[in-house]
Amino acid sequence: MILRDLFQQDSCRFQDLLESLIGISPNTLSSRLKWLIAQGIIEKRVYSEHPPRAEYILTEKGRALRPVLQAMKKWDDKYLNHTKQE
């Protein structure tokens, strides 16, 4: 879901992600962001020192995941999100 939000926007702040990801705790979001940064999928850019403010953006490696996630979404729509009863 974090990647979904970043694909829809050029960048996201922590609070934006927290509001978008209903039910996620700040600690869980922080942990997942740190993992994505460590994997080189996103990067954190500080845009204000006082008060400290940062935004998260996709790296080239992260942008390369777009077709993979789109394929998974297409598969999900076809096989798991049936609107018709069979």
Per-residue pLDDT tens digits for 30-50: 999 999 999 999 999 998 888
Mean model confidence pLDDT for the chain: 92
Per-residue pLDDT tens digits for 50-71: 888 999 999 999 999 999 999 9
Q: Cα–Cα distances in Å, from 8 out to 31, 52, 68, 80?
A: 21, 24, 15, 23
Contact 41, 81 (CB under 8 A): no
Report d(CA 67, CA 16) in Å as an integer: 24
Whole-prediction pTM value? Answer: 0.83
**What pLDDT score was predicted for residue 84?**
54
- Ordered domains of the chain (ranges, CATH): 2-79 (1.10.10.10)
Measure the CA–CA gap between 69 and 64, rounded to whole angstroms.
10
Give me 81's structure tokens.
């999100």
The predicted pLDDT at position 82 comes to 65
Does the structure show a pLDDT above 50 at 86? no
